[in-house]
Structure 1
Amino acid sequence: MEGFNKLHWEDWTVLLLTLLTIVLYGTYKTRKQRNVQDYVKGGSTSKWWTIGLSVMATQASAITFLSTPGQAFHSGMGFVQFYFGVPIAMVVICMVFIPLYHKLKVFTAYEYLESRFDKKTRILTAILFLIQRGLAAGITIFAPAIILSAVLGWDLTLLNIAIGILVIIYTVSGGTKAVSMTQKHQMAVIFTGMFIAFFLILSYLPDDITFSKAIEIAGASGKMEVLDFSFDFNNRYTVWSGLIGGTFLALSYFGTDQSQVQRYLSGKSIKEMQLGLLFNGLLKVPMQFFILLVGVMVFVFYQFNASPINFNPSADEVIANSSVASSYEKLKQDQALLFERKKTLINSYADKASKDLQADLRLVNEQDREIRNKAQDLIAQASEELDVKVETNDKDYVFIHFILNNLPKGLIGLLLAVILSAAMSSTASELNALASTTALDLYKRNTDKDLNDLQMVNITKWFTFGWGVLAIIIACVAYLADNLIQLVNIIGSIFYGNVLGIFLLGFFFKRIKANAVFLSAIITQLIVIGLYLMDAFDIINLPYLWLNFVGCIIVITIAHLIPSSRTT
């Protein structure tokens, strides 16, 4: 697989020029920041479009562009339902959260909790944020490192270190303003690259396959089923999980997660902050729909072109040295025969669609899925036999495989720049927020030293560096889960519902005391972790998205049940 082993000089030129320009520009433009207002809140000068793009770039990590197309390739468009709660959450945050944050002139979201409750509640919530966002920062570095490791054959640990250092340079140097400035350019690169990839995929389809026919073929294969109104908990992504669980997740993420709050606190006015978030709310679902559609078009492309039985390039190497090599080869032959049959069916369906042909097409794709599942089992068996770690689930490799093996020189470099730009933007936001929270909510609030602005900026820079190093360490010991984009959302869902509930208690339940909130938060976090583990071990069936809703309701309920929670 030549594409995985080397890049042409054109690709290297585009990739390095794009990344270095972004890093150097952000570092140069924000090199002289000497007060906390500038370093943490970017001087409160950001316009609404900068806020909107920065908020979007923070959420759209490399995992989004790496995993989402693969998710659509395997499971179709249904994942877009995950984002249905975002527009609702944006409206609520604009009406409730932003006016309060602006009125109190807070530097971090958790600063509000001390003014409403007490110091220990602020510290507890800040720590919950630091735990989940610190883990997520490591994963956002790890995701692109996997790609480059597969592309170049370089050591994964060295790549984690290199990517982490690149992000640390401009985040330490320029703080929030550097993050926001670079994110505008990163989003431009991302949108350009994804649109080019989409139109190139369409151009690679046979001449008689128009976009509408491609959609028809995808629909016949069950990939265009966007909406699921069922209440089936065996299905993670439904309209209801998106509207209920997704809304609570988005409320917590955009309203209480410092990595996002810090993006819009940099706004020059309350109106700019609100417009920035509404811009994100309007664009987020269409953007995710488009990225999933790219994955569906990759699926259609592989209906006319042979695909590997497993997209992870490491799988073939492990299988070749194992006792199951012949069984794996037999599955490849079965897949090749099935592909010839599929091509005949696809061409017939493209000429004249019918329900019988659609049923045959779905059957063939189901058989193809069964072959791929058997291949995964053999890969797992081989990796256990040889005592090596190989990811059997190849969702995260689908899109990168297509890029490396089908795009022209130069554009491969651009698409790699897209993925790395996304990684840098989200990781920079996370490090920036982790450092601000540590410096302001933990260090400054618990020290007796009288620190001036320059000292606080330097302390925050050191915390940025420290969190960057920790993120690199986490990336180095990480390992692929079922799907990277799901892993990040699972980590968030374990903590977000509880944190959101704490904020809602502060906003809407004025008679609840600090001690009740503190105790209920600790109890709730233990319950939510227990519920997740019970679901993981199949003791109960509770998809992770619902943890956001459940956690929020539990912490509010327990706070009301504690006798000392009300004033007399």
Structure 2
Amino acid sequence: MYEFGVLNWTILGTYIALTLVLGAFIGKRVTSAKDFALGDKTIPWWAIGISVVCTYVSAMSFLGGPAWSYKEGLSVIAIHLNYPLVIFFIVAVFMPFFYNNGLTSIYEYQERRFGKASRITLSFIFLIKQALSSAAVLYATAMILEFITGIDVMYCIMIVTTIALVYTVMGGMAAVIWTDVIQALILFVGAFIIIEAVWNGMPMPMTDVMVNLKEKGMTDALNTSMNLSEVTTVWAGVIAMTMFHTTVYGGNQMMVQRCMAAKSMGDAKKAMLMMGYVAFFIYFVFILLGVLFNAYYDGKEFDNGNTIILHYASEYGLPGLMGIIAAAILAASMSS
């Protein structure tokens, strides 16, 4: 276990306190069920766009992305090539339909079109699916926080859940969106500190590093193999993941409800477009980080690849870095 220290606890505690204070402050402006579900329709499109991005960039992305590309190389980016195509389709087809019908929930339409039984059934299926997905993210986050802070997994689960529950109940959708903005800032600060440190801390010039990575096939981003057993091919990204991401961004309540909080149809579209084009570069950063780690550690095997960032941060020795990483992981989990 890493010795967390006073400075790191201070950073983590400050982040938690800031999140709760923001939730309480926004909560004072909630005066109706509509305000709770959609805010007061004054949230800027860029904040909504950041929130949508954060919803899909979980702690698993922050830790699992580099772990995956550490072994597979830049070809991992192929599964994200579909974002511009998917988001353009969502903005052109799904978004006008949901926004113009004044929906708070996509399941409202199910009831209007097919009756209450349809709405209840599909809502129940969504909640079960989301509970299972959130449980996986939450458990993975708790294990990482235990590794960093030494707090038992069970208590980590309770802490993360309670914090997210409190600010959501106090401030509704507006609190969720604005806390996501803070969470995004912390997440990306942590990621860019790590990538800058790795980039400048290589044991040889970057030109030599890139030559070595190319020789190992780690820089081959476009894998056009027709082998169906390979996951990181262009075909998997453009065909299979296009269909998957269409369901995620076009029919997932977590995404749609955020966009419905926009001031206008134009703002809702801009928020979703921001997500589609920014997310690709965010994932590229995480994937590039894994490739650089491969060069830094010379492909060394780790018992758990998801802890590569944590191992590096503890070795790097920058005061407060582990506190930022812990806050970033906590932020990524709560935003999801």
TM over 0.5: yes
Report the alpha carbon displacement of residue 32 of structure 1 after superposing the two structures with TM.
4.2
Q: Name the counterpart of 2:311.
A: 401
Q: How does 1:278-297 map to 2 (within 5 A)?
A: 278-297=273-292
Contact 1:82 1:242 in 2 (8 A): yes
- Deviation digits for residues 190-233 of structure 1, max 9, x if unmatched? 22221111111122212x412x4323222222222211122321
Whether the 8 Å CA contact 2:30–2:39 is kept in 1: the answer is no
Residue pair 1:76, 1:225 contacting (<8 A) in 2 also: yes
Contact 1:148/1:159 (CA < 8 Å) preserved in 2? Answer: yes
- Aligned partner of 2:313: which letter? I
Q: What is the rounded CA distance, in whole Å, between the counterparts of 1:216 and 1:114 in structure 2?
A: 58
Q: Which residue of 2 aligns with 1:68?
A: 65
In the alignment, residue 310 of structure 1 is paired with which amino acid?
F
Deviations 1:285-334 (Å, cap 9, x if unpaired)? 11101111011111111129xx5x534xxxxxxxxxxxxxxxxxxxxxxx
Q: Is contact 2:19-2:167 (8 Å) kept?
A: no
Instruction: Kindly provide the amino acid, as one letter, of the partner of residue 413 in structure 1.
Output: G
Q: 1:209 corresponds to which residue?
A: 205
Question: Shift in Å at residue 57 of structure 1?
Answer: 0.6
The structure-2 alpha-carbon separation of the partners of 1:19 and 1:213, relative to structure 1 and needing over 3 Å to count, comes to farther
Task: Give per-residue Cα distances to partners, 1:119-174, cap 9 Å, x unaligned.
Answer: 33322222221111111111222122111212233321111111111111101111
> Mapping of 1:315-334 within 5 angstroms?
none
Distance in 2, Cα, partners of 1:219 & 1:417: 34
Q: How does 1:138-177 map to 2 (within 5 A)?
A: 138-177=135-174
Corresponding letter in the other structure for 2:274? F
| Aligned equivalent of 1:79 | 76
Q: 1:310 corresponds to which residue? A: 302
For 1:8, the aligned partner's letter is G
For the residues of structure 1 that align with 2:151 and 2:185, how far apart are their CA atoms?
28
Structure of higher RCO (CA pairs closer than 8 Å, 6+ residues apart):
2
In the alignment, structure 2 segments of 5+ residues that lack a partner are none
| Corresponding position: 1:416 with 2:330 | no
Give distance in 1, aligned partners of 2:148 and 2:99: 46
Q: Is the 1:85–1:248 contact (alpha carbons within 8 Å) kept by the matching residues of 2?
A: no
Task: Measure, in 2, the Cα distance between the counterparts of 1:258 and 1:63.
Answer: 20
Alignment of 1:489-508 (within 5 A): none
1:232 corresponds to which residue? 227
Structure with higher Rg: it is 1
TM-score, with normalisation over the residues of structure 1? 0.57
> How far, CA to CA, are the matches of 2:29 and 2:16 in structure 1?
22
Q: Look up the match of 2:127.
A: 130
Partner Cα separation in structure 2 for residue 231 and residue 46 of structure 1: 45
Could you state the TM-score of these two structures normalised by the residue count of structure 2?
0.95
The 3 A distance-change label for structure 1 pair 99 and 6 is: same
Contact in 1 for aligned 2:148/2:326 (Cα 8 Å): no
Query: Which amino acid in structure 2 is aligned with residue 123 of structure 1?
Result: I
The residue identity in structure 2 corresponding to 1:29 is I
Root-mean-square deviation over aligned CA pairs: 1.7
| Aligned-pair identity (%) | 27
Tell me how far apart the structure 1 counterparts of residues 20 and 295 of structure 2 sit (CA, whole Å).
37
- Pick aligned residue for 1:25 from 22, 26, 42: 22
Paired with 2:283 and 2:298, the residues of 1 have a C-alpha distance of 23
- The one-letter code matched in structure 2 to 1:410 is G
Residue 183 of structure 1 corresponds to: 180
Write the deviation string for residues 433-472 of structure 1: whole angstroms up to 9, x where unpaired: xxxxxxxxxxxxxxxxxxxxxxxxxxxxxxxxxxxxxxxx
* Matches of 1:43 and 1:268, distance apart in 2: 9
Matches of 2:270 and 2:287 in 1, distance apart? Answer: 26
Which letter does structure 1 place at the counterpart of 2:95? I
Question: Does 2:216 correspond to 1:221?
Answer: yes
- Residue range with higher mean Cα deviation, 175-184 or 222-231: 222-231
| Partner in structure 2 of residue 511 of structure 1 | none
Deviation at 1:254, TM superposition (A): 0.8
Would the aligned equivalents of 1:86 and 1:246 in 2 still touch at CA under 8 Å? no
1:34 paired to 2:42: no
What letter corresponds to residue 209 of structure 1 in structure 2? P
Give distance in 1, aligned partners of 2:112 and 2:226: 40
Say which SS state the counterpart of residue 298 (structure 2) adopts. Answer: helix
Indicate how the Cα distance of structure 1 residues 5 and 407 shifts in structure 2: closer, same or farther if over 3 A, else same: closer
